[in-house]
Structure 1
């Protein structure tokens, strides 16, 4: 079988890459064993987080890592059984958490995130789904004045990198979100946007891909062979002019088949949902001391977040789900029993930067976005399409090379 451009992965990154190429007149076939836009493309917090310029690894995390690793209730957890496998990744992560490297990584993230909101507005309009993209900002909540004071240096750092942020006192926060309990204050990021229904937005993206002639093949890709006419093996062999690997946390083996070794590991993300006609707040709000988001979505409240390093095979952790429920009920004590739970896999690299690179063997890599897959999907698509069409990139791609490791 033949395809013009084959995209392995039909999540948000794969589908936005498909749209960018389809708009340029190329034919696109997407391969994924699961429904388009499932996995983390659906299960995330829904935030278009243009403010998220801090990498996961920072000097503060480096300082607190022993406590974070061994406190079962911390926002960062590591499954003990996975430690031997994770050791090389953790060593790289520690190096990337040093002050100079962390700042350099933040600067790259700031460049990638600079126009995330406008790019998403264009994408949503193209898919006829502008109503699903809410332009009401995002909050970081602080329970006490100590938290407000501790956040000032971080917020100043973000401002230095171009992030707009306002500090709200208790009264200003109450006026903005009267459904929240009293808190000392908040950081408000007015440029942030969010998806009121990530699943519906993924469906809109998939429908637009198909309307433009894109084809979805619901099959796993078992192997790929790079070259002048690269090939992949699904249920049968396909030949393409270009193959794009955009399979998120499942990209490591495919990248190796393309000749690149990447230290990709898995962050296991969780969410809980409560069905509620009115979810009590009007924009996403991060409970900073607990590391999760309260996310108002259509007909429900989603609680999502925390970091658990533990690979692709272990079952969901009841403790992480219980911790999310406990955190949600610390804000809204009468929530009751969650309506549903979910766990998915985020693709995590030690420096919190994605891999976006086109090889000479006609295989393009576009994965490793960590917590920012949804946010960075449109800029990733623009960079990927530009590389394939030989255009001058709008950003320096060297920090995103798979060979930086």
Structure 2
């Protein structure tokens, strides 16, 4: 099986990369050990996050760091035995989160973030998936007046980015979410969109890729090898030969690039989700974020999905329900959640770089090797955007933005 480009990884990033390369006239094979949309892309909070101009930074406030250090918070927990291994990465993440560095990361991410909704709209329309996407925005709510006042001021400072939002007092918020209680106010961000089944959306995009003549195969990306001036990988249907290869494996990307000698500081932020019924008569109209406790409640096809914040633990460590139980206890005081609908919590892994930018571009020591991973909390948001950018780079087309900030070479 010969092709122009082999894309490793059938999550949102890999599928969108394959679609854009295909649209540029390339013969593309998509390879994954599972069917599309079953990994990290399946379990996120379902937000196409147009309003997240400022990346998720490491806390710089010492009182907040002390609270996190006690390891009793709902927004973040860590495995004590794993933390020493992660300490150098966390130190660099902390350094990159200084006000000056964070402002630089925001400027670099803006060209990607501002295209996220339009890129999804185009693909969803072509794939017949528009029914999964709602244009309701999302609501960030607060239980503490002082914190709400700070957040409202921050929102006003984002007007330079052209974002649309409404600041809601308690009465206004209750009109939009009648069953949300014990809140003092919220910010309704109007530009983002929400997805009722992220995994199904990715599979719909993958079906579009196949309908347009692409080939989607099962196989182990770790079988990748260079052969003469080309690349090979094993699939269940035989060897795939390609002139170029894209590593778009999200949290598993290191399993390929590290074996090829690249030292890219990719770390994993683990997270969980669980689906719940609503109690009789209750309904959640929007995706809502408890900004203080660090979790999301999102109305999904399966029920109300509670998605947790960050857990720092070994990638292959057993699931730990502590953080989910903490978030659930808080959420039940604010919204009438019913019974759990899943037998076990879902565990996902977010691929993160300490400078809060993804890796997009060519590998400098191997001809025909390209990277597209490290989207952190915004894989669903940015998959179509970064897929387009990488396809433009690979085909020699004019890029919609300067790709230099995302270069793999920035770590050397």
- CA distance in structure 2 between the partners assigned to 1:338 and 1:299 by the alignment: 8
Q: Match of 1:131, SS?
A: helix
**Alignment partner of 1:246 is 2:272:** no
Matches within 5 A, 1:203-242: 203-225=203-225, 229-235=229-235, 237-242=239-244
Structure 1 segments of 4 or more deviating over 6 A? none
- Superposed CA deviations along residues 331-376 of structure 1, whole A, max 9, x for unmatched, are 2245234434211111011122111112351111000000100000
The residue aligned with 2:342 is 339
Shift of 1:293: 0.6
* Residues in 1 aligned to 2:302 and 2:245: alpha-carbon distance in whole angstroms: 39
Question: Which shows bigger deviation, 380-389 or 49-58?
Answer: 49-58
Aligned to 1:370: 376
Q: Which residue of the partner structure matches residue 332 of structure 2?
A: 329
Aligned residue-pair number:
405
CA 1:311/1:318 → structure 2, altered by over 3 Å: closer, same or farther? same
SS at 2:331 equivalent: helix
The answer as to whether partners of 1:49 and 1:375 remain within 8 angstroms in 2 is yes
Q: Check the 8 A contact 2:24/2:395 in 1, yes or no.
A: no
Tell whether 2:399 aligns with 1:396. Answer: no
Q: TM-score, normalised by structure 1?
A: 0.94
Question: TM-score under structure 2 normalisation?
Answer: 0.92
The answer for the alignment partner of 1:260 in structure 2 is 262
Report if the CA contact (8 A) 2:287-2:296 is conserved. yes
Q: Which moved more, 1:35-44 or 1:49-58?
A: 49-58
User: 1:285: which partner in 2?
Assistant: 288
CA distance in 2, matches of 1:108, 1:403: 16
Select between 65-74 and 260-269 the one with higher mean Cα deviation: 65-74
Contact 1:61 1:97 (C-alpha < 8 Å) held by counterparts: no
Of 76-85 and 364-373, deviating more is 76-85
How far apart, in 2, do the equivalents of 1:197 and 1:122 lie? Answer: 18
Deviation of 1:2 (Å): 2.6
* Aligned mates of 1:219, 1:265 — CA distance in 2: 24
1:223 touches 1:234 (CA, 8 Å); kept in 2?
A: yes
- Superposed CA RMSD in Å reads 2.1
Measured against aligned partners, the alpha-carbon deviations of 1:304-326 in whole angstroms (never above 9, x if no partner) come to 12101113110111212212321
CA contact (8 A) 1:174 1:182 kept: no
Per-residue displacement from partner, 1:1-52 (whole Å, max 9, x unpaired)?
Answer: 4332100100011001111122222111111111211111110000001111
Quote the Cα distance in structure 1 between the aligned partners of 2:199 and 2:282. Answer: 17
Which stretch shows the higher mean deviation, 267-276 or 380-389? 267-276
CA drift at 1:295: 0.2
Report what 1:136 is aligned to. 136
Q: 2:78 — aligned with what? A: 78
Residues 182 and 86 (structure 1 numbering): CA distance in 2 closer, same or farther, change over 3 Å?
Answer: closer
Q: Please list every run of 5 or more consecutive structure 1 residues that lacks an aligned counterpart in the other structure.
A: none
Corresponding residue for residue 306 of structure 1: 309
Q: What CA deviation, in whole Å up to 9, does each residue of 1:161-208 have, x standing for no partner?
A: 343222111121122222222521111111110101213212211211
Match of 1:269 in 2: 271
Farther off after superposition, 193-202 or 244-253: 193-202
